[in-house]
């Protein structure tokens, strides 16, 4: 082998090592951004109320209303989960379990809690694993969380009896988690689902966000980060699949989405709606951005939810 050829081969090997090392480093960074729990720079996490917030009164009420503290163990993990429980004004066995979104916590759900409270429901508002006050180091986009919320539903039934009527409601990642729960074996007391602006699956959403936020193509960073997630957290992005789950669902589901949602693109709601195998309804709120359908059109949102639930909860 000539010295020149040997030099070129060494240079090529060094280049490959540098490129691969850079990709591994980038995938580890992206993993910390997407999967590892903790504050996310691209997610607004402030819970400070502003009087300009159209949901100010509802959120203020939630901050001050008396709450009970419930606890649960995460499914398949030694993690302590916590939740707030707000009983209805009149004794009832109708309960809504609310699921918050990515990088958020139960404190962000005040507007929805107030709506369901006015509709006469008990409300249970957990902090999802790895977020808020619940333990955990991983956010799995609904893959593990859906099993946790099934445990919360079962706890409601255990405390309130076999005559319980439970609704699972989620926003953003919570909406996707709600859909993923619908694909599991669920108790008969879980009567209906409402998902608001959930994505089709984690891989599709992360691919979309990589392009939108960083102008990064799917290959090779998203597959490599998914592999890191499999090694460090036990799941691939494609495992968190709401689209596949709703194909197994046979219970009622109301799908809600903002018509101007560019975080979880509005097109995704049509995909999951078409795929759902159970009784279903769809509300797309014109002009509403991500997770803002209620604040954008509170009367329409509340009227739609009330009419939908009246068909299945008595």
pLDDT digits (tens, 9 = 90+) for 102-149: 999 999 999 999 999 999 999 999 999 999 999 999 999 999 999 999
Q: Give the mean pLDDT of 85-102.
A: 98
pLDDT value of residue 48: 78
What DSSP assignment string belongs to 234-292? S--GGGSBHHHHHTT--S-EEEEEETT-TTTTTHHHHHHHHH--SSEEEEEETT--TT-
pLDDT value of residue 38: 79
Of 7 and 186, the one with more pLDDT: 186
Q: Provide the pLDDT confidence category of residue 152 given band limits of 50, 70 and 90.
A: very high
CA 17 to chain centre: 37
Q: Provide the pLDDT confidence category of residue 79 given band limits of 50, 70 and 90.
A: very high
Mean pLDDT of the chain: 91
Q: Give the mean pLDDT of 18-38.
A: 76
pLDDT value of residue 158: 98
Residue 23 has pLDDT above 50, yes or no: yes
pLDDT value of residue 26: 83
Q: Which of 120, 130, 64 is nearest to 95 (CA)?
A: 120
pLDDT value of residue 274: 98
Taking the C-alpha atoms of 47, 50, 51 and 57 in order, what is their torsion angle to the nearest 10 degrees? 0
Measured in degrees and rounded to the nearest 5, phi and psi for residue 70 equal: -110, 155
CA angle 205, 209, 214 (to 5 degrees): 155
What tokens does 266 get? 């509005």
How do the domains of the chain map onto residue ranges?
35-201+240-310
Partners of 169 in the β-ladder: 98, 194
Q: Provide the pLDDT confidence category of residue 40 given band limits of 50, 70 and 90.
A: low
Residue 173 has pLDDT above 80, yes or no: yes
pLDDT value of residue 47: 62
pLDDT value of residue 229: 97
- The architecture (CATH level 2) of 35-201+240-310 comes to 3-Layer(aba) Sandwich (3.40)
Q: Give the mean pLDDT of 180-200.
A: 98
219 by Cβ neighbours in 10 Å (0-12 / 13-18 / 19+) ranks as exposed
Which residues in 286-311 are b (16+ Cβ under 10 Å) and which e?
A: eebbbbbbbbbbeeebeebbeebbee
- Report the percent of the chain where pLDDT is more than 90: 82
Q: What number of other Cβ atoms are within 10 A of residue 272's Cβ?
A: 28
Q: Provide the pLDDT confidence category of residue 279 given band limits of 50, 70 and 90.
A: very high
């Amino acid at each position: 082998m000539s010295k020149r050829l040997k030099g070129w081969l060494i240079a090529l090997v060094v280049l490959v090592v540098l490129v691969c090392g850079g990709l591994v480093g980038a995938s580890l960074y992206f993993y910390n951004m997407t999967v590892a729990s903790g504050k996310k720079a691209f997610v607004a996490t402030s819970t400070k109320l502003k009087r300009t917030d159209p949901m100010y009164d509802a959120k203020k009420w939630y901050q001050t209303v008396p709450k009970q503290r419930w606890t649960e163990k995460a499914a398949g993990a030694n993690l302590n989960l916590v939740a707030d429980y707000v009983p209805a004004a009149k004794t009832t066995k109708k309960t809504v379990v609310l699921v918050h979104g990515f990088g958020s916590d139960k404190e962000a759900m005040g507007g929805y809690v107030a709506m369901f409270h006015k509709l006469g429901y008990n409300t249970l508002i957990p902090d999802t694993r790895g977020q808020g006050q619940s333990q955990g180091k991983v956010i799995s986009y609904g893959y593990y969380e859906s099993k946790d919320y099934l445990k919360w539903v079962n706890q409601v039934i255990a405390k309130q009896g076999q005559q319980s009527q439970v609704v699972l409601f989620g926003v953003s990642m919570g909406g996707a988690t709600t859909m993923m729960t619908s694909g599991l074996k669920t108790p008969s007391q879980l009567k209906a689902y409402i998902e608001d602006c959930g994505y089709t699956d984690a891989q599709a959403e992360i691919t979309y966000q990589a392009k939108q936020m960083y102008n990064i193509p799917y290959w090779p960073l998203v597959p490599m980060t998914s592999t890191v997630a499999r090694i460090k957290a036990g799941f691939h992005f494609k495992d968190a699949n709401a689209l596949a789950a709703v194909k197994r669902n046979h219970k009622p589901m109301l799908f809600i989405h903002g018509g101007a949602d560019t975080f979880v693109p509005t097109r995704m709601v049509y995909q999951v709606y078409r795929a759902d195998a159970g009784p279903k309804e769809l509300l797309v709120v014109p002009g509403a951005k991500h997770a803002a359908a209620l604040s954008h059109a509170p009367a329409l949102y509340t009227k739609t939810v009330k009419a939908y639930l009246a068909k299945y909860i008595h």
